Amino acid sequence: MVALPGDVVGRYDRFSLFNSPYPAHDAGRAVDLYPGNGVEVAASPVAGEVRATRTVRCPPKPYAADHDHLVLVDCGDVVARMLHVDPSVEAGDRVAVGDPLGELVRSGFFGRWVDDHIHLGFREPDQNLRRATGSLPLDLDVDVAGVDWDGTGEVIETGPTHVRLDAPRLDRGQGFTAIGGDDGTPLDGGLVHYAGGGALAPADGTVSLLGTPVGRVDGRRLEWADVALSVVDDAGRRRRATGLSLFASQVRFGAKLVFHEGHDLSVGDRLTVSVEPAADPVRLG
């Protein structure tokens, strides 16, 4: 188990262990660290010697760069493996926590609604450092509180494939918070557009959101049930959302709804979100 100190995690606005379709996140063995809107330079979450960098081709996306990069830093007992940074460092350089690694990459490996971030995982020095699978178990030394939400909010941000609401407010002066299930369990992941998610505090059993069971959690891993999300505006018009993007935040943030094929919502629209059982949930990964 590799522990990432709380003072390191606290350098970033948001984080997610499970909100990704890629294997390293299946069991929360990698973390995505979000520096915040407008931040272009990636600050290193680790200290050590740069072991190597590598450029890789991305899936072609019209909104994204066609290349991504792998940065490997030897931290002593383990090697840190970072993605989505165009490195300004090279093999042999030493970095400290907070040092610039390079510019964040708008990568074709993540969806259009996903904000720029640093992907971080760890391997043993003698492991294959380039494979997508094989990351070591990861523990973040932070507490995350679940925040109650009644499913309502006003649109304060739109993008081609997402909208963000003003609720629930996730900056309540208590460190990191996340949207909580009906029992308060802080939730992480892509509900339900990714196959699984997680709990950011130990839990066991069925988890519900907005009155509907959304999955079963065993420790941290959460398997989503077959559900769908709908939004209704003040005019009574109903739309189906692809999913709800879940993460932990220590800055003001609200629910982020994903519409992977686009939407017609605008800033100022007031929405009510509901979760219902569905035979045909949309899975993007």
In the sheet where 227-233 sits, what is the strand order? 212-224, 196-209, 187-191, 243-246, 256-258, 162-165, 152-159, 270-277, 227-233, 238-241
Please say if the pLDDT value at position 132 is more than 90: no
Percent of the chain exceeding pLDDT 90 equals 84
| Confidence at residue 151, expressed as pLDDT on a 0 to 100 scale | 98
Q: Which residues lie closer than 8 Å to 247 by C-beta, 6 or more apart?
A: 14, 15, 16, 19, 32, 34, 178, 188
How does residue 172 score in pLDDT terms, banded at 50, 70 and 90?
A: low
Tell me the per-residue pLDDT of 192-243, one tens digit each, with 9 for 90 and over. 999 889 999 988 899 999 999 999 998 889 999 999 999 999 999 999 999 9
Checking if the pLDDT of 105 tops 70, the result is yes
Phi, psi of 25 (to 5 degrees): -95, -5
Q: Using the predicted structure, report yes or no on whether residue 32 has a pLDDT greater than 80.
A: yes
* Separation of alpha carbons 185 and 179, rounded Å: 8
More confident residue, 91 or 285: 91
**Total residues belonging to the chain:** 285
pTM of this structure? 0.96
pLDDT at 123: 96
pLDDT of res. 37: 83
Class of the CATH domain delimited by 2-140: mainly beta
Cβ atoms of 200 and 240 within 8 Å: the answer is no
The per-residue DSSP string of the chain comes to -EEEPHHHHTTSSEEESS-SSSGGGTTT-EEEEE--TT--EEEPSS-EEEEEEEEEEPPP-TTSBSEEEEEEEE-SSSEEEEESEEES--TT-EE-TT-EEEEE--BTTS-TTPPP-EEEEEE-TTS-SSSSS-PPPEEE---EEEE---SEEEEEEEETTEEEES-S---SSSSEEEEB-TT-PBEEEEETTSSEEEEEEEEEEEEEETTEEEEEEEEEEEEEPSEEEEEEETT--EEEESEEEE-EESSS---EEE-TT-----TT-EEEEEEEE-SS-----
Over the chain, what is the mean pLDDT?
Answer: 94
Write out pLDDT tens, residues 5-30: 999 999 999 999 999 988 888 889 99
Cα separation values, 77 from 8, 14, 73, 203, 270, Å: 18, 27, 11, 30, 51
Phi, psi of 247 (to 5 degrees): -165, 175
pLDDT of amino acid 277: 96
**Domain definitions of the chain by residue range:** 2-140, 144-277
Work out the average pLDDT over 34-52.
Answer: 95
Mean pLDDT of 28-38: 92
